[in-house]
Structure 1
Amino acid sequence: MIELEGITKSFRMGEHEMTILHGIDLNIAAGEMVAIMGPSGSGKSTLMNILGCLDLPNGGHYRLDSTDVTKLSKKQLAKIRGQRIGFVFQSFNLIARTSAMQNVELPLVYNGVRRRRAKAKAALERVGLGSRLGHVPSELSGGQKQRVAIARALINDPSIILADEPTGALDSTSTTEIMELFTELNQQGCTIVVITHEDEVAEYCTRRIWLRDGNIASDDVVDKRRHGRLSAVNA
């Protein structure tokens, strides 16, 4: 599903050019749940922006579902973001005075989809918020807000969900709930990539990629049995 070949990314800082990614080669298959980790400045956010078609690399090729997105126009990239990629962020990015239902409907509004309410309701029910359709964000817990954000990410049936520190603003109980939800969605066929600095979050994934200084330092399969997750995931 995702193929990165020789991806580089640099930014100009005054008279100097700073290289953030140094020739990243990475393949992620459909149905995987991958954690991308690394210290501050390792290139995690830059890589996430490229994966999400929010930014383009300076060099290399990025193929998403066999489409080389490095050759696409801004309009074409926007179409891919709207149709193939669902985003989940640490800060939820919900509109404060708008209900959960209306927040989830927003991507459909942007894409000119009619009969939105039934689809938004189904998405919220899918993440366990069928009884909170009319609640505004201030009436929801942190975990519930993130569930609304996940429902919004799912609304256009994307082929991949990109989650940038999705549990960074949550307590441990809500973190567990959200990662169990991601695991359930992954078992239903969603491909999920999580940017995180938390080992306990990465343990829910099937694969862990570690970045350091703009390079992939390691790429390992996560042994869920070692962390006691296998029985819980398959229960």
Structure 2
Amino acid sequence: MIELEGMTKSFRMAEGEMTILHGIDLTIQAGEMVAIMGPSGSGKSTLMNILGCLDAPSSGRYLLDGTDVTKLSKRQLAKTRGQRIGFVFQSFNLIPRTDAMRNVELPLIYNGVRSRRAKAKAALERVGLGTRLRHVPSELSGGQKQRVAIARALINDPSIILADEPTGALDTKSTVEIMELFTELNAAGCTIIVITHEDEVAEYCTRRVWLRDGCIQSDDKVHNRRTKLAAVSA
């Protein structure tokens, strides 16, 4: 599904050009759940922005289902983001005075979809919030807010979910609940890429990619992957 070939990313600074990513080669197959890890400044967020078509590499190729993303126009990139990629962030990015239904409907509103309510309701029910449809964010726990964000990410039936530190603002119990939900979504066929610095989060994934100084230091399968039963018994 995803192929990065010799990908680099540089930024022009006052003191000269700074290279953040150095010749990244990475393949992610459909149906994988991959943790991308590394210390601060390793290039995790830069890599996520490129994978999510929010930024373009300086050189190299990014193939998404065989399409060279680096050759797409801004309009085509926006369409790709809207139709194929769902985003989940640490800070939830919910509109404070808007209820869960409306927050989940937002991507459909931006895409001009008129029949939105049934789809938003189904997405919230899918993440276990069928009884919280009319609650605003201030009436929800941290874990429930993140579930709303996940429902919003699912609303356009994306093939890929990119989650940037999705449990960073959550307590342990909520972290387990959210990672179990991601595991269920992955089992249903969704490809999930999680940016995280937490080993406990990476244990729910099928694979762990470690970045350091803009290079892939290691790329390993996760053995004894956590499942719902394992998390409950831990």
TM-score of the two chains, using structure 1 as the length reference: 0.96
Pair 1:169 & 2:130 matched: no
SS at match of 1:106: helix
Q: What residue in structure 2 maps to residue 51 of structure 1?
A: 51
Inter-partner Cα distance in structure 1 for 2:95 and 2:107 = 13
Inter-partner Cα distance in structure 1 for 2:130 and 2:63 = 36
Q: Please tell me whether the aligned partners of residues 180 and 228 of structure 2 are also in contact (alpha carbons under 8 angstroms).
A: no
SS at match of 1:163: strand
SS at match of 1:197: coil
Q: What residue in structure 2 maps to residue 105 of structure 1?
A: 105
Q: What residue in structure 1 maps to residue 35 of structure 2?
A: 35
SS at match of 1:211: strand
Q: Please tell me whether the aligned partners of residues 8 and 57 of structure 1 are also in contact (alpha carbons under 8 angstroms).
A: yes
Q: What residue in structure 2 maps to residue 84 of structure 1?
A: 84
Q: Please tell me whether the aligned partners of residues 30 and 191 of structure 1 are also in contact (alpha carbons under 8 angstroms).
A: yes
SS at match of 1:108: helix
Task: Give the counterpart letter for 1:58 in structure 2.
Answer: S
Cα deviation, residue 229, structure 1: 3.9
SS at match of 2:24: strand
The Cα offsets for residues 92-122 of structure 1, whole Å up to 9 and x where unpaired, read as 0000000000000000000111210000000
Q: What residue in structure 2 maps to residue 119 of structure 1?
A: 119
Inter-partner Cα distance in structure 2 for 1:46 and 1:15 = 20
Check 1:71–1:98 CA distance in 2 against 1; reply closer, same or farther (3 A cut): same
Cα deviation, residue 232, structure 1: 3.7
Inter-partner Cα distance in structure 1 for 2:68 and 2:134 = 41
CA RMSD of aligned residues (A): 1.1
Inter-partner Cα distance in structure 1 for 2:121 and 2:230 = 28
Inter-partner Cα distance in structure 1 for 2:99 and 2:153 = 16
Inter-partner Cα distance in structure 2 for 1:180 and 1:224 = 15
Pair 1:138 & 2:105 matched: no
Structure 2: any 5+ residue segments left out of the alignment? none
SS at match of 1:151: helix
Structure 1: any 5+ residue segments left out of the alignment? none
Cα deviation, residue 219, structure 1: 0.3
Inter-partner Cα distance in structure 2 for 1:188 and 1:114 = 27
Q: Please tell me whether the aligned partners of residues 6 and 60 of structure 2 are also in contact (alpha carbons under 8 angstroms).
A: yes
Task: Give the counterpart letter for 2:186 in structure 1.
Answer: N
SS at match of 2:216: strand
Inter-partner Cα distance in structure 1 for 2:143 and 2:228 = 23
The Cα offsets for residues 19-54 of structure 1, whole Å up to 9 and x where unpaired, read as 000000000000000000000010000000000000
Cα deviation, residue 65, structure 1: 1.3
Check 1:156–1:127 CA distance in 2 against 1; reply closer, same or farther (3 A cut): same
Inter-partner Cα distance in structure 1 for 2:45 and 2:187 = 26
Q: What residue in structure 2 maps to residue 189 of structure 1?
A: 189
Matched pairs, number: 231
Which of structure 1's runs of 4+ aligned residues deviate more than 3 A? Answer: 228-233
Task: Give the counterpart letter for 1:30 in structure 2.
Answer: A
TM-score of the two chains, using structure 2 as the length reference: 0.97
Inter-partner Cα distance in structure 1 for 2:104 and 2:230 = 29
Check 1:139–1:231 CA distance in 2 against 1; reply closer, same or farther (3 A cut): closer
Inter-partner Cα distance in structure 2 for 1:145 and 1:98 = 12
Cα deviation, residue 67, structure 1: 1.0
Task: Give the counterpart letter for 2:2 in structure 1.
Answer: I
Inter-partner Cα distance in structure 2 for 1:141 and 1:102 = 18
Q: Please tell me whether the aligned partners of residues 100 and 133 of structure 2 are also in contact (alpha carbons under 8 angstroms).
A: yes
SS at match of 1:25: strand
Inter-partner Cα distance in structure 2 for 1:186 and 1:89 = 18
